[in-house]
Structure 1
Amino acid sequence: MPLLPRRGTAAAALALATALSLTACGGSSDDGEASPSAGAGNKKDVAKGGKDFADAAKKTAAMGTDAEPGEWPRTVTHAMGKTEIKTQPKRVVVLDVGELDNVVSLGIEPVGLAPTEGSPELPSYLKKDSGNPKNVGTINNLNLEAIAALKPDLILGSQLRAADKYDELSQIAPTVFSVRPGFTWKENYLLNAAALDKTAQAKEKLAAYEEKADALGEKLGDDKPTVSMVRFMPDGVIRLYANASFIGTILKDSGIPRPENQDIEDLAAEISAENIDQADADYIFTGVYGDPKATDKSKAQGNPLWKNLDAVKAGHAYDVPDETWYLGLGVTAADEVLADLEQHLTK
């Protein structure tokens, strides 16, 4: 399945195996890229490297189908093997917000959704078009009985989230898994579209996104401001999101530069409230995973070091919606992020 040309291919290749290795460390947060507490005791877990990155990226890019538009049954190659889908799916269950974003953007109202632990409600930016999907557990705690009761004809998820449930899910309905959510969101979108016979629409949406990203980059000109991405996690973890993340791909697509400590081919660097000065840039955008009171946001922003940051003193530090900037993981969320960036960076 051919992909649209993508910037930062090397970055994406580098970080894919990072995320896969993090899976072995146990659990996954709502962004699909390590557990909220995984880095607290071992910051190296967030930034592992390895020689298998390129092979893992190629695996993601090779997924899809050779079926012609309108051709059924069709066989889809995905992270767990091959799945035959006999007819056009009408009752789709999605196991993550990325898949929810994907199917809703293609005009489909899913019958079931596994929301995130950090944001258990239906994302507000998708409510208007997503119908009323039934809750089937959470991304890390699926309710197989609830899924089966919906009588789906297609289940969409990821190997990172639910590899151990794949066999059981496949007994319920044809199941198609991406390798992982996150920075591979464009490939995942095309994979989901292939299973739904919506490839042409998905490519149009991605092309429109690319045009918006290019337009923002041109509007900002040659002297673009640096942007720092700060996300407050539970247990005192603070992440500075880097290139191999969902938001990292959007910033790269727009040509927006990063501070040196975030211009790295990993998911994120991790800091604490005591060294929040490492978050400085021309602009700072902050997100919060789950309940802000369970994080060190207030502690970090009460630190004199925070108040002395260039972005803070200039009035260029903004809170942004976690549900789009970090949890959205799809083209609709990406469009929302671009709109937010344009609003703040072109005032």
Structure 2
Amino acid sequence: MHRFKLTAVLMAAVLLGLLVACGSNKEPVQQEQTKATADKATRTITHLKGSTVIPAKINKVVVLSAAYIDHLLTIGEKPSGVNVEVRYGGDYLPYLASKLAGVPLVGTADSPNLEAIVQIAPDVILIESRTADKTYEQLQKIAPTIVLGNEWLAYESDTTFWTKDLLTIAEMYDKVDMAKAKIAQLEEKAVKVREKIKAMDNKKLAYLRVREKNLQLYAQNGHPTNVLLYHDLGFTPSALTPKDQRADLSLEKIPELQADYIVLEVDPNARDNRKNMNESALWKNNPAVLNNKMYETDSFWLFKGWGVIGRGEIIDEITKMIQ
């Protein structure tokens, strides 16, 4: 009888040990499963401030850059809050306005409205490096903040630098393939116009900007709009077009441009300066003006050059200009 009780006790102890062992073996498995689930729920984005963990599924994003608004809309994503542009009356950038109906405005890129951003409760905030200098720490407390952009003139010979931020944003949404397809479609569109320009005998172009107090001549490099005109589309720079940095241009120098085409971007506060130019004989007697080859843009080209949507619109305008 005692021998039977001893055997039963021993069997119970062995059984208990097996149960404990099984339980301890399950714990690492459960931890691995939990980690795998967490990994699927987030992704890590590398940007100018390092690496930031963001939700794998973004429901709300606040954007403090016109270029990044273009990028989001290019991949079919609508922002939940956007910055305003002071020079256009503190509203949406006009060329994107129809696609942003109802989206809250959250101040400027330089001075974002933090309270308005808090009310949106975004999953992610997208900003440029210049914004980060002032408000990165504050924005980071509201939501994971991704800092994109590069320093001016740091692109060297890379003419596709404007696509880098688009591809990073596309990565956030797992839409890199879509972004690449959009870029390829834009390139096809540019090639068709480039072939037309290549066949032209007279294709010297000057890209001018009328500011409130002065007139500027844009360079061949440095800005994505310049690269689009002189590299992607193949216009020949005018005689005075600088290589890397824009330069002030006096009216006395206009005859030296020797431009077959002039693209004129006029700031909203520069109408008086524009009027004075029209009244100048130096301007009126310029060959591009006399031959009706002067094209005044909607003053958004400097914004449009950064994105697929904007660049497509510039190419459409160029197509009309050279007909």
Q: CA RMSD in A?
A: 2.2
Q: Does 1:198 align with 2:175?
A: yes
**Higher relative contact order structure (alpha carbons within 8 Å, sequence separation ≥ 6):** 1
Deviations 1:36-56 (A, max 9, x none): xxxxxxxxxxxxxxxxxxxxx
Number of residue pairs matched by the alignment: 274
Q: Which residue of 2 aligns with 1:320?
A: 297
| Partner of residue 49 from structure 2, selected from 80, 105, 113 | 80
Q: Give the counterpart letter for 2:213 in structure 1.
A: D
Post-superposition CA distance 1:221-272 (Å, at most 9, x none): 3445111111112333534343221211211111222114325023x12223
Match of residue 179 from structure 1? 149
Among 199, 205, 211, the residue aligned to 2:188: 211
- Structure 2 vs 1, CA of residues 298 and 277 (structure 1 numbering), >3 Å: closer, same or farther? farther
Shift of the 92–222 alpha-carbon distance from structure 1 to 2, 3 Å rule, reads same
Aligned 8 A contact 2:193 2:319 in 1: yes
**Which residue of 1 is the match for residue 27 of structure 2?**
none
After TM superposition, the structure 1 = structure 2 runs for residues 262-273 of structure 1, keeping only pairs within 5 Å, are: 262-266=241-245, 268-273=246-251
Aligned partner (choices 100, 108, 119) of residue 149 of structure 1:
119
Q: Would the aligned equivalents of 1:181 and 1:188 in 2 still touch at CA under 8 Å?
A: no
Instruction: Determine helix, strand or coil for the equivalent of 1:141.
Output: coil
Out of 62, 65, 68, which is 1:99 matched to? 68
Question: What SS does the corresponding residue of 1:138 show, helix, strand or coil?
Answer: coil
Please give the alpha-carbon distance, in whole angstroms, between the structure 1 residues aligned to 2:144 and 2:279: 51
SS in 1 for 2:268: coil
Shift of 1:166: 1.1
Number of the residue aligned with 1:228: 206
Q: Aligned equivalents of 2:92 and 2:249: distance in 1? A: 30
Task: Identify if the C-alpha distance between structure 1 residues 89 and 281 changes in structure 2 by more than 3 Å, giving closer, same or farther.
Answer: same
In structure 2, give the amino acid aligned to 1:257. T
The correspondence for 1:247, drawn from 186, 200, 225, is 225
Bigger Rg, structure 1 or 2: 2
| In structure 2, distance between residues paired with 1:200 and 1:82 | 22
Report if the CA contact (8 A) 1:96-1:116 is conserved: no
What is the rounded CA distance, in whole Å, between the counterparts of 2:71 and 2:97 in structure 1?
14
Task: For 2:252 and 2:83, locate their aligned partners in 1 and report how far apart those are by CA, in whole Å.
Answer: 36
CA shift at 1:161, angstroms? Answer: 3.4
Distance 1:113 1:219, change over 3 A: same
Report how far residue 273 of structure 1 moved.
4.2
| Amino acid in structure 1 at the alignment position of 2:99 | D
Q: How far, CA to CA, are the matches of 1:278 and 1:196 in structure 2? A: 49
> Aligned match of 1:165 in 124, 129, 135?
135
Secondary structure at 1:128's aligned position in 2? Answer: helix
Kindly provide the amino acid, as one letter, of the partner of residue 209 in structure 1: L
Would the aligned equivalents of 2:213 and 2:270 in 1 still touch at CA under 8 Å? no
Once the two structures are TM-superposed, the CA of residue 296 in structure 1 deviates from its matched residue by 2.1
- Structure 1 spans left out of the alignment, 5+ residues: 1-69
Q: What SS class does the counterpart of residue 218 from structure 2 fall into?
A: strand
Identity %: 28
Give yes or no for contact 1:233–1:239 (8 Å, CA) kept in 2.
no
What is the CA deviation profile of residues 180-219 of structure 1, one whole-angstrom value per residue up to 9, with x for unaligned ones? 4988421121122122222111111111111111111112
Structure 2-normalised TM-score?
Answer: 0.78
- CA spacing shift, 1:113–1:180, aligned 2, 3 Å: farther
Contact 2:251–2:282 (Cα < 8 Å) also in 1 = no
Q: Where is the helix percentage greater, Structure 1 or Structure 2?
A: 2
Q: Distance in 1 between matches of 2:319 and 2:81?
A: 34
- Supply the distance in 1 between the matched residues of 2:79 and 2:297 (Cα, whole angstroms): 27
Could you tell me which of 259, 266, 275 is aligned with 1:298?
Answer: 275
CA distance in 1, matches of 2:321, 2:268: 24
1:268-347 to 2 correspondence within 5 Å? Answer: 268-293=246-271, 296-323=273-300, 325-328=301-304, 329-345=306-322, 347=323
TM-score normalized by structure 1? 0.73
1:78 and 1:285 mapped to 2: Cα distance?
A: 35
